[in-house]
Amino acid sequence: MIKVVSFKICPFVQRVTALLEAKNMPYEIEYINLSDKPAWFLALSPTGQVPLLMTENGVALFESDAIIEYIEEISDPDAENGTPEQRAIDRAWSYQATKHYLVQCSAMQSANQETLAERSVKLNAAFEKAENQLGGGPYFHGAHMGKVDIAWLPILHRAQIVEKHSGYDFLASYPKVKAWQVAMSSTGVAEQSVPDDFEQAFSNFYLADRTFLGRGANFDEGPIEKAAAAGGGCCC
């Protein structure tokens, strides 16, 4: 069986597990501690990053883009999946999501309102592009959930948890993206793609008292020293 080496709150891993869940493909998962990477993992992973996927032939694959393409190929080797142009366009729209995973991670870690605004500029531009591209929904290409939807899933899922815990809605100005988030959520794939304690682990990291969102996105709070609060990195 395929095995995914994971870190619980990594968005790149979630893209991979969401695709496996959406395709009903069985897989094992092993979580590692990224601040104390096991020797076996470092021996297998050229980058030292998760996700790492072990194929049924025992080959270690790295880089989520490559892993996604591998899963697409083995799950449906004969699928045409549209024209070469359509596939290129899908990859480009997927890239619009994945290049913003770390941007969202950084925005969520903002210590104060000003930092959140600064760090949200690029994220908002990405939401704006998606808003202009989305049609009548419910998914990116209409009736069926596809690879572009899966690429955006980690961002939409995280925005949903942030809103639930803090009241702050990253998508407030983007009604079509908001409707897309609701449609994606109703599939259940987001919950299936993360461990049971994901929301807790995510909140402990991003919605702790050191972050503006963790303190309930209180726009009336006084100045908070940036240095005393959150850094700008990702989950790891």
Interface residues toward ligand GSH, by CB under 6 A: 7, 10, 12, 34, 48-51, 63-65, 234-236
Q: How far apart are CA 37 and CA 51, in angstroms?
A: 13
- Residue 67 beta carbon to ligand GSH: minimum distance, rounded to whole angstroms: 7
- Residue 16 beta carbon to ligand GSH: minimum distance, rounded to whole angstroms: 8
Token readout for 115 is 């930092």
Q: How far apart are CA 82 and CA 79, in angstroms?
A: 9
What are the residues whose beta carbons fall under 8 Å from the beta carbon of 203, sequence distance 6 or more?
A: 161, 165, 214
- Residue 211 beta carbon to ligand GSH: minimum distance, rounded to whole angstroms: 18
Q: Which is nearer to ligand GSH, 93 or 174 (CB)?
A: 93
Q: Which is nearer to ligand GSH, 48 or 231 (CB)?
A: 48
- Residue 117 beta carbon to ligand GSH: minimum distance, rounded to whole angstroms: 24
Closest CA to 193 of 135, 128, 149, 144: 149
Q: Which is nearer to ligand GSH, 49 or 211 (CB)?
A: 49
Overall size of the chain counted in residues: 236
Q: Which is nearer to ligand GSH, 63 or 131 (CB)?
A: 63
* 3-class DSSP assignment, residue 142: strand
Q: How far apart are CA 113 and CA 168, in angstroms?
A: 11
